[in-house]
């Protein structure tokens, strides 16, 4: 009989993980949630806190604190465990600590017999997604990085502010590393169905505006961390959208982390690229015909990532 309920396991019940769960229960993502954290008491406390919403929210669900054994029959695992960026620290500086944490989590999930899709948000996101897939040996399509989903959402909002339109009317994309070397693929950006070049030609937005939006999108995490110590609501909502596309087999386009296998001239690691997301994870990488400058910037981003991945491999060897 076709399974009609969805089970989601969250590993890492900190600010990002619980923002995801809060968004998920509000949107009715799944019927069953299990929370796992190295701090078991925190996972229990978070489960009880979310149980308090059950009498008020419309869609029924269950939620409890659990262990890796609960992963066995899960449909989706979302990993947000790790220590977050400290003020002034780049995502890549988190490598060694979080690679070791990710290796342990990957081994525990694999040992459970899990056979679903995994979504990873822990930073440095592209590198840790690559580490997880390498350690588990899971089909690369079933491992999905948060990639540049959040970065692209930030860019859409910033460009929308310049044009005084709704962020949803802007389709603008950031590719490559979820971090400092990411690339704004403006050659593929559209606003209300028109290419952004039309708005440039009409003087409604300038090249300098676009450069500023890109730079601010990259720096947004630092802007927020400097003020409140961490970022979590934006990524929490993005993780819910990614999870929904997977659990509902939506076949939606997302800028998630997918493993490159020759696409865009790169191979062997995950990074943010346009993909079709469905029940098996990322199905197809869409190969855009980027401008020469975008191609060059994407190559530089991938070179930086590959070098970082090599450092991660040393840390977990």
Closest CA to 316 of 176, 48, 81, 127: 127
CB of 202 to ligand NAD, least distance (A): 33
Catalytic residues: 178
Q: Which of 99, 73, 103, 76 is nearest to 21 (CA)?
A: 76
Q: Does 42 bind ligand NAD (CB under 6 A)?
A: yes
Count of residues binding ligand NAD (CB under 6 A)? 32
**Residue 50 in contact with ligand NAD, rule: CB under 6 A:** no
Considering beta carbons, is residue 94 or 191 the nearer one to ligand NAD?
A: 94
Q: Is position 125 annotated in a ligand binding site?
A: yes
Name the β-bridge partners of 65. Answer: 35
117-151 as b/e, with b when 16 or more CB fall inside 10 Å? bbbbbbbbbbbbbbbbbbbbebebbbbbbbbbbbb
Contacts with ligand NAD in 197-236 (CB under 6 A)?
Answer: 230-232, 235
Instruction: Pick from 5, 28, 39, 267 the residue near ligand NAD by CB under 6 A.
Output: 39
Q: Does 46 bind ligand NAD (CB under 6 A)?
A: no
Would the annotation count 12 as a binding residue?
yes
Residue 92, SS3 per DSSP: helix
Give the count of alpha carbons within 13 A of 187, CB side only.
10
CA distances from 78 to 101, 129, 209, 312 (A): 15, 11, 35, 21
Q: Is 14 annotated as a binding residue?
A: yes
14 interacts with ligand NAD by CB under 6 A: yes
DSSP states along 33-71:
EEEE-SSHHHHHHHHHHHHTTTTTSSS--EEEE--GGGG
- Whether residue 99 contacts residue 140, with contact meaning beta carbons closer than 8 Å, is answered with no
Count of residues making up the chain: 317
170-199: contacts with ligand NAD (CB under 6 A) = 178
Whether the CA torsion 13, 147, 240, 144 is positive or negative: it is negative
Question: Between residues 89 and 296, which has the closer beta carbon with respect to ligand NAD?
Answer: 89
| In the complex, least distance from residue 59 CB atom to ligand NAD, rounded to whole angstroms | 24
Sign of CA dihedral 289, 310, 76, 48: negative
Q: Is 87 in the site for ligand NAD (CB under 6 A)?
A: no
Q: Does 103 bind ligand NAD (CB under 6 A)?
A: no
Query: Site for ligand NAD (CB under 6 A): which residue of 8, 81, 255, 258?
Result: 81
Q: How far apart are the first and last CA of the chain?
A: 43
**By CB under 6 A, is residue 302 in contact with ligand NAD?**
no
Interface residues for ligand NAD in 107-136 (CB under 6 A)?
Answer: 121-123, 125
Position 278 contacts ligand NAD (CB under 6 A): no
Q: Is 84 in the site for ligand NAD (CB under 6 A)?
A: yes
Q: Is 246 in the site for ligand NAD (CB under 6 A)?
A: no
Q: Which is nearer to ligand NAD, 67 or 194 (CB)?
A: 67
Binding site for ligand NAD (CB under 6 A): 11-17, 37-39, 42, 80-85, 98, 101, 104-105, 121-123, 125, 146, 150, 178, 230-232, 235
Q: Which residues are annotated as a binding site for substrate?
A: 85, 91, 123-126, 151-154, 231
């Amino acid at each position: 009989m076709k399974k009609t309920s969805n089970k989601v396991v969250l590993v890492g019940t900190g600010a990002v993980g619980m923002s995801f769960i809060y968004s998920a229960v509000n949107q009715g993502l799944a019927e069953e949630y299990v929370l796992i954290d190295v701090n078991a008491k925190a996972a229990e406390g978070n489960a009880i806190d979310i149980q308090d919403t059950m009498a008020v929210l419309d869609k029924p669900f269950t939620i409890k604190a659990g262990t890796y054994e609960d992963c066995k029959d899960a449909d989706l695992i979302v990993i947000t465990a790790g220590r977050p960026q400290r003020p002034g620290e780049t995502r890549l500086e988190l490598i060694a600590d979080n690679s070791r944490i990710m290796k342990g989590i990957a081994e525990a999930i694999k040992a459970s017999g899990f056979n679903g899709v995994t979504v990873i948000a822990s930073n440095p996101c592209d590198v840790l997604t690559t580490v997880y897939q390498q350690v588990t040996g899971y089909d690369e399509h079933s491992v999905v990085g948060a990639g540049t989903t959040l970065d692209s959402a930030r860019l859409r909002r910033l460009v929308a502010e310049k044009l005084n339109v709704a962020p949803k009317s802007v389709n603008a994309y950031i590719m490559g590393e979820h971090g400092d070397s990411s690339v704004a693929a403006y050659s593929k950006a559209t606003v209300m169905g028109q290419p952004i070049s039309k708005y440039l030609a009409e003087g409604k937005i300038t090249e300098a505006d676009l450069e500023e939006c890109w730079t601010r999108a990259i720096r947004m995490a630092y802007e927020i961390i400097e003020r409140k110590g961490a970022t979590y609501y934006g990524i929490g909502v993005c993780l819910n959208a990614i999870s929904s596309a997977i659990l509902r087999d939506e076949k939606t386009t997302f800028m998630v982390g997918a493993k490159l296998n020759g696409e865009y001239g790169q191979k062997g690691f995950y990074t943010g690229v346009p993909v079709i997301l469905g029940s098996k994870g990322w199905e197809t990488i869409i190969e855009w015909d980027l401008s020469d400058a975008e191609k060059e910037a994407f190559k530089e981003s991938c070179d930086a990532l590959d070098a970082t991945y090599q450092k991660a491999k040393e840390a977990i060897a």
